[in-house]
Amino acid sequence: MNQINPKKLLNSKWTAITPKNKEKHFIVTDMEFDEEGLVLSCCIEAIMSKRTIRLNWHDLKDTRHWAQGWK
């Protein structure tokens, strides 16, 4: 389980464990907050293709799919 500090999530780097379409390395480019300032979701961008994906930021904790940093 990856440890994630929501305050440091923006611009953090991630590696997909099972890359699809040669998209292995990602960076968090945007975050969505609720009225109380809690993180709801984040937007990650693939470095190679510049494709963006919106996902629940808790999904990044799953070590079966994501690794912190670029490996």
Q: How far lies 20's CA from each of 16, 25, 45, in Å? A: 8, 11, 13
Give residue limits of the domains in the chain.
Answer: 6-68
Give the pLDDT score at 18.
95
| Average pLDDT of every residue of the chain | 95
Biggest distance spanned by C-alpha atoms of the chain: 37
Give the pLDDT score at 70.
94
Residue 2 scores a pLDDT above 90: no
Q: Which residue has the higher pLDDT, 3 or 50?
A: 50
All residues at 6 or more sequence positions from 70 whose CB lies less than 8 Å from its CB, including other chains: 13, 14, 15, 25
Mean pLDDT confidence for 33-59: 95
Cβ distance 25 to 46 under 8 Å?
A: yes
- Which tens digits make up the pLDDT trace of 24-42? 999 999 999 999 999 999 9
Residue 1 scores a pLDDT above 90: no
